[in-house]
């Protein structure tokens, strides 16, 4: 009798999730939420332009110039790949460390827009809006509407959220990752596997969807009377995206893992124990000049600790699959001998924004603290970035 009741409850949960997803699909383009995201996006880009003009004492003659000031650090490399693909010789050979999906999308859009930089901003703009809408729908499965909306707000005002709007992979990767989780939550495993494969073709973190979605499948297994479902094997399809990337390495260099050599040679990136890289960040606080001590030292170290705290919190308050995603990502960026760009990498830990939203909606003081901290450091980092200085 108990088994029968448990099976009935499992079906009820599944049916409820399906009905809710039907409503979500019907109202996916939430006008109020899209308006919020567009407003934040416009303000960030406007602030960046003002910061550049004031700090450099130079004018921006055209809208194209407004976009060009954000084309810094890794962004031009994606444009090189979009224009010429991967090459085996010269300076551009090291760009093999950048995964192919984002520059491929930029190249495809450039056929219509006739410019890679404009295309990069277009891809990121569409992806960032999709990321916000999908995060809202995912959070809405467990949270009140106010909390779900707040999670999107905190993602868009996070100190490194300017990467959502410019020629970087963050917006695309978050869209695919959150989409994969949402598909798994509503039991569309074929779609979860497909989106996961695309995520793995956009960044190496995409592979971390395999253990995270496996725990989501385990949750379904437990809730539906411990019955096996073959469609869970779609989770393994995530590896296909990484396989495409390895194939590119093999075709260009004759070795499927050439990207590891380039990471070690040019970025001092190789796997080691987490405390090695964290200790290096700590030493940077005391061994570098004041500016680098702040950016390569204190900020990297702070965001390592912030990510760790949010990860521990996720194990206490969120679904196991979310906590697994948080844990694997944190370990990925800290298990290197040179910890770098952690403030940017923290953006992909999307369950963190649900946690921040819960805190903000339950206690007004936390809403003020989190919002003010986010906006102050968003302004600081964005202003530094458009000036061409290192900002993750």
Strand partners of residue 336: 271
Please state the rounded mean pLDDT for residues 137-158. 97
Section 57-80 average pLDDT: 96
**Confidence tier at 16 by pLDDT (50, 70, 90):** very low
CB 148 within 8 A of CB 136: yes
Angle, vertex CA 173, rays to CA 168 and CA 176, nearest 5? 150
Question: CA nearest 23: which of 165, 136, 152?
Answer: 136
The structure tokens listed for 246 are: 């390895």
Local confidence band at 224 (pLDDT 50, 70, 90 cut-offs): confident
Share of the chain above pLDDT 90, in %: 89
**For the chain, what are the domain ranges?**
2-386
Identify the weakest region by mean pLDDT among 16-20, 26-30, 32-36, 356-360: 16-20
Average pLDDT of the chain is 92
Euclidean distance between the first and final Cα of the chain, in Å?
57
| pLDDT, tens only, 320-336 | 999 999 999 999 999 99
Residues 6+ apart with CB under 8 A from 190: 231, 234
Strand-pair partners of 261: none
Phi, psi of 66 (to 5 degrees): -65, -35
| Predicted confidence (pLDDT) at residue 6 exceeds the cutoff of 80 | no
pLDDT at 229 over 60: yes
CA distance 251 to 349: 32
Structure confidence by residue, pLDDT tens digits, 191-201: 999 999 999 99
CB 97 within 8 A of CB 262: yes
pLDDT confidence band for 22 (50 / 70 / 90): very low
Q: What would the two tokens of residue 18 be?
A: 């399906």
Determine the pLDDT at residue 223: 87
Q: What pLDDT is attached to residue 248?
A: 98
Kindly report the number of other CB atoms within 10 A of residue 111's CB atom: 8
C-alpha angle 173-128-72 in degrees, rounded to nearest 5? 75
Residue 226: the pLDDT is 84
Q: For 345-367, what is the mean pLDDT?
A: 97
Tell whether the model's pLDDT for residue 237 goes beyond 70.
Answer: yes
Residues 177, 209: contact at Cβ < 8 Å? yes
DSSP assignment letter at 111 = H
Residue 368 burial (CB count, 10 A) = 11
Distance CA 331, CA 328 (A): 5
Residue 288: phi and psi, rounded to 5, are -120, 170
Cα–Cα distance between 170 and 135 in angstroms, integer? Answer: 14
Provide the pLDDT for residue 144: 96
Sign of CA dihedral 161, 167, 170, 172: positive
| Banded pLDDT at 39 (limits 50, 70, 90) | very high
Please determine, for residue 17, whether its predicted confidence score (pLDDT) is greater than 50: no
Q: State mean pLDDT over 385-391.
A: 96
| pLDDT score for 200 | 98
Rounded distance between C-alpha atoms, residue 172 and residue 188, angstroms? 20
Nearest CA among 210, 110, 206 for reference residue 167: 110
Per DSSP, which regions of 31-95 are E strands? none
Contact indicator for 355, 318 with CB cutoff of 8 Å: yes
The pLDDT of residue 27: 56
């Amino acid at each position: 009798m108990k088994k029968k009741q448990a099976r009935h409850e499992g079906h009820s949960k599944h049916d409820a999730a399906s009905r809710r997803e039907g409503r979500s699909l019907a109202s996916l383009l939430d006008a109020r939420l899209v308006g919020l995201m567009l407003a934040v996006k416009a303000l960030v880009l406007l602030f960046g332009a003002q910061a550049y003009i004031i700090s450099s004492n130079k004018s921006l003659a055209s809208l194209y110039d407004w976009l060009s000031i954000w084309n810094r650090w890794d962004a031009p490399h994606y444009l090189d790949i979009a224009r010429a693909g991967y090459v085996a010789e010269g300076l551009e050979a090291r760009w093999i460390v950048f995964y192919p999906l984002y520059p491929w999308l930029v190249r495809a859009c450039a056929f219509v827009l006739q410019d890679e930089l404009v295309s990069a901003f277009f891809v990121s703009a569409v992806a960032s809006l999709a990321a916000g809408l999908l995060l809202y729908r995912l959070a809405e499965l467990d949270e009140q509407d106010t909390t779900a909306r707040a999670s999107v707000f905190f993602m868009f005002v996070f100190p490194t959220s300017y990467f959502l709007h410019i020629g970087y992979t963050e917006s695309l990767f978050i869209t695919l990752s959150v989409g994969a989780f949402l598909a798994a939550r509503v039991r569309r495993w074929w779609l979860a596997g497909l989106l996961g494969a695309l995520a793995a073709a956009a960044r190496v973190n995409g592979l971390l969807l395999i253990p995270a979605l496996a725990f989501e499948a385990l949750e379904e297994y437990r809730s539906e009377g411990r019955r096996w479902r073959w469609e869970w094997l779609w989770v393994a399809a995530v590896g296909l995206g990484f396989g495409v990337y390895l194939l590119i390495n093999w075709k260009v260099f004759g070795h499927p893992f050439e990207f590891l050599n380039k990471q070690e040679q040019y970025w001092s990136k190789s796997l080691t124990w987490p405390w090695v890289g964290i200790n290096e960040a700590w030493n940077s606080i005391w061994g570098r000049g004041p500016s680098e001590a702040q950016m390569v030292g204190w900020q990297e170290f702070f965001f390592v600790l912030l990510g760790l705290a949010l990860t521990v919190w996720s194990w206490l308050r969120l679904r196991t699959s979310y906590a697994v995603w948080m844990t694997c990502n944190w370990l990925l960026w800290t298990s290197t001998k040179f910890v770098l760009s952690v403030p940017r990498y923290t953006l992909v830990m999307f369950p963190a924004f649900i946690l921040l939203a819960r805190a903000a909606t339950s206690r007004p003081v936390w809403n003020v603290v989190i919002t003010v901290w986010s906006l102050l450091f968003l302004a600081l980092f964005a202003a530094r970035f458009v000036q061409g200085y290192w900002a993750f």
